[in-house]
Structure 1
């Protein structure tokens, strides 16, 4: 029996035309080019088929594929997940999914980003599909001039062969045993440096704290209008002192704009007399302002320190001369 790996082009086309995937993802994330609808359309408008989009299971066996009619777009991943979720065998199962730009897909599907911090992923690194693409790369030139049906037949044969290779490796746990042994040693070494009794409850507390830190970035506390008013009064006073020393036209322009802003705020809030720094309401708002600024700075420092420690820990796994180690060094320097 030949396994039907490919979704029909007609079904793909209908879904693509009916789905809106114009989102741009999270602002704080990297500006990925993949998944961009406008870029995808402009670069591939003259091609009938631009590539293959697909998936593998955690054992890296091929699962489901489709011909792409554009560049890489979110709509293909949504269609793929829709098909997988509607397979009868998967309806009562939890489906864990990894995708290299899942942070952009997040607004469409609720996915977690890091498999190491998600229950059920084990040692899955999410790179199985990349290893499959590496294997299929040699078929690119062969299939370039083929008819669509012959191309799909050849790729199906290649996927069946790849699946058989992966099937032979199922049940071989030597790598997992080695990793478990090394991990237990590393954990033991690190615990021995901590002057504290480590219990299962302690570890669970750490996991909850880590997840809260990594999965939800601390958002800056929003300032009240009183804090904004006091902050602008301080800026106004600072600019006034600078202008007395230096009659810079740019400083004078800034001072004039800020003076108008403060006057508008006073009018909106019904302030008939400008607050003085010795008044109770000024002092109270300034205290809150300072605490908020300190908290935001500490949150940013904590986030940077955690990122740096994580990158340094990853870098230890590679020799200094390796390309990946150099990339980690660059990331460490940028995070500093």
Structure 2
């Protein structure tokens, strides 16, 4: 029996998932966002490593999580989702576009620590990240253009959001903890207000 034959026998579809484990594992290995051990900043120099944001369909920030550990851990994403679901009726369905949504769904299905979420949340991959996934089957299943559910949403609002916050990085790297959070909060509030006004003008036109 060859190594390929052994790998094929060991490969399987985990409960609650639509893709084989081998496809999902390759996606985990290819994405920085899915690698919880990937360190972008030193915890010895900085108390905060960054922020993770949850945006609505209109690219307005709903919740932000302050990242205090090295690496983009999944529990930050789960904390944001939990905060959102606490504000919504249990009967509501939620659609989530994320760079590595396949990894989030796999963790939920494998470890079953939030059993009700799988029935309430539909997962998709942000459109410009979909083609970075290793297997075509993952691209087909999670691509937002392959399901009517997503409409024309592309899930790239966070990329625009980060570009709007980038100018704060130099000054906030040398700021105190509370000053940093205060500045980010003010900037996010301002951006949300500008986007709301822009939406109103667009509807009026």
The TM-score by the shorter chain falls in which range?
0.5 to 0.7
Q: Which residue is 2:147 aligned to?
A: 118
Q: Which residue is 1:38 aligned to?
A: 37
Select between 108-117 and 144-153 the one with higher mean Cα deviation.
Answer: 108-117
Secondary structure of 2:48's match?
coil
CA separation in 1, counterparts of 2:52 and 2:22? 20
Secondary structure of 1:72's match?
coil
Q: For the Cα contact (< 8 Å) 1:25–1:103, is it kept in 2?
A: no
CA separation in 2, counterparts of 1:155 and 1:129? 15
Q: For the Cα contact (< 8 Å) 1:24–1:104, is it kept in 2?
A: no
2:24 is matched with which residue: 26, 32, 51? 26
1:161 matched to 2:190? The reply is yes
Question: Structure 1's 151 and 25: CA in aligned 2 closer, same or farther, altered over 3 A?
Answer: farther
CA separation in 1, counterparts of 2:22 and 2:79? 18
Q: Which residue is 2:81 aligned to?
A: 81
Q: Which residue is 1:129 aligned to?
A: 158
Counterparts of 1:196-211 in structure 2, within 5 Å, are none
Counterparts of 1:153-302 in structure 2, within 5 Å, are 153-170=182-199, 172=202
CA separation in 2, counterparts of 1:145 and 1:24? 43
| Paired residue total | 150
Question: Structure 1's 117 and 81: CA in aligned 2 closer, same or farther, altered over 3 A?
Answer: same
Q: Which residue is 1:97 aligned to?
A: 96
Q: For the Cα contact (< 8 Å) 1:54–1:64, is it kept in 2?
A: yes
The alpha carbon displacement at 1:120 in A equals 3.4
Secondary structure of 1:39's match?
coil
CA separation in 1, counterparts of 2:187 and 2:147? 32
Question: Structure 1's 98 and 58: CA in aligned 2 closer, same or farther, altered over 3 A?
Answer: same
TM-score (norm 1): 0.41
The alpha carbon displacement at 1:24 in A equals 9.9
CA separation in 1, counterparts of 2:146 and 2:193? 30
Structure (1 or 2) with the greater strand fraction: 2
Structure 2, unpaired ranges of 5+? 1-20, 109-117, 125-141
Bigger relative CO (Cα 8 Å, ≥ 6 apart) = 2
Counterparts of 1:318-333 in structure 2, within 5 Å, are none
The alpha carbon displacement at 1:37 in A equals 2.6
CA separation in 2, counterparts of 1:134 and 1:120? 27
Q: Which residue is 1:321 aligned to?
A: none
Secondary structure of 1:150's match?
helix
Select between 125-134 and 73-82 the one with higher mean Cα deviation.
Answer: 73-82
The alpha carbon displacement at 1:55 in A equals 1.3
Q: Which residue is 2:58 aligned to?
A: 59
Question: Structure 1's 24 and 79: CA in aligned 2 closer, same or farther, altered over 3 A?
Answer: farther
CA separation in 1, counterparts of 2:57 and 2:173? 30
Structure (1 or 2) with the greater helix fraction: 1
Q: For the Cα contact (< 8 Å) 2:47–2:177, is it kept in 1?
A: no
Q: For the Cα contact (< 8 Å) 1:37–1:73, is it kept in 2?
A: yes
Which is greater in Rg? 1
Secondary structure of 1:58's match?
coil
CA separation in 2, counterparts of 1:150 and 1:91? 36
